[in-house]
A = this chain, B = another copy of it.
Amino acid sequence: MDTQDTPGYCSDLTLSYGRQKSAIRELFEYGKKISRDKGPEQVFDFSIGNPSVPPPRQVEEAFCSLLAKESPLALHGYTSAPGDPAVRRAIAGQLNRDYQTAYDESNLYLTCGAAAALSSTFRALTVTGKENEFIAIAPYFPEYKCFVEGHGARLVPVPSSLPDLDIPLEGIDNAITSSTRAVIINSPNNPSGKLYREPELQALGSLLGKKSQECGHPIFIVSDEPYRELVYDGRKTPFIPPIYPNTIVCYSYSKALSMPGERIGYVLVPPELNHHARDIYDAIAGAARSLGYVCAPSLIQRVVGLCADVKPDMTVYDLNRRILFDGLTVAGYRCIKPEGAFYLFVEAPEGKAKIFSEYAKTNYNLLIVPSESFGFPGYLRISYCVSTERIQSSLPLFAECLKKYER
Residues of A within 8 A of B (CB): 7-19, 48, 50-52, 54-55, 59-60, 63-64, 67, 71-73, 75-79, 112-113, 115-120, 123-128, 130, 143, 146-147, 149-152, 181, 217-218, 258-263, 276, 279-287, 289-301
Please judge, given known A-B contacts A17-B286, A18-B281, A150-B290, whether A263 and B11 are in contact too, CB under 8 Å: no
Cβ 8 A contact of A258, one of B13, B76, B143, B287: B76
Residues in B neighbouring A19, C-beta threshold 8 A: 282, 286
Query: A63 to B52, Cβ gap below 8 A?
Result: no
Q: How far is the CA of A112 from the CA of B149 in the complex (A)?
A: 22
Chain B nearest CB, measured from A300 CB (Å): 6
Main secondary structure of the interface of A (DSSP, over half): helix
Of the listed residues A17, A51, A284, the one surrounded by the most CB atoms of chain B closer than 10 A to its CB is: A17
A302 (CB) vs chain B CBs: closest residue: B261
Query: B291 to A291, Cβ gap below 8 A?
Result: yes
Cβ 8 A contact of A79, one of B217, B261, B283: B261
Residues in B neighbouring A279, C-beta threshold 8 A: 7, 10, 15
Residues in B neighbouring A60, C-beta threshold 8 A: 67, 72
A76 (CB) vs chain B CBs: closest residue: B259
Residues in B neighbouring A64, C-beta threshold 8 A: 67
Cβ 8 A contact of A290, one of B146, B217, B294: B146
Chain B nearest CB, measured from A403 CB (Å): 35
Query: A125 to B283, Cβ gap below 8 A?
Result: no
* 14 contacting pairs across A/B (C-beta < 8 A): A8-B127, A9-B218, A51-B77, A60-B72, A76-B262, A112-B294, A119-B292, A146-B289, A147-B292, A261-B295, A262-B297, A262-B298, A263-B296, A263-B298
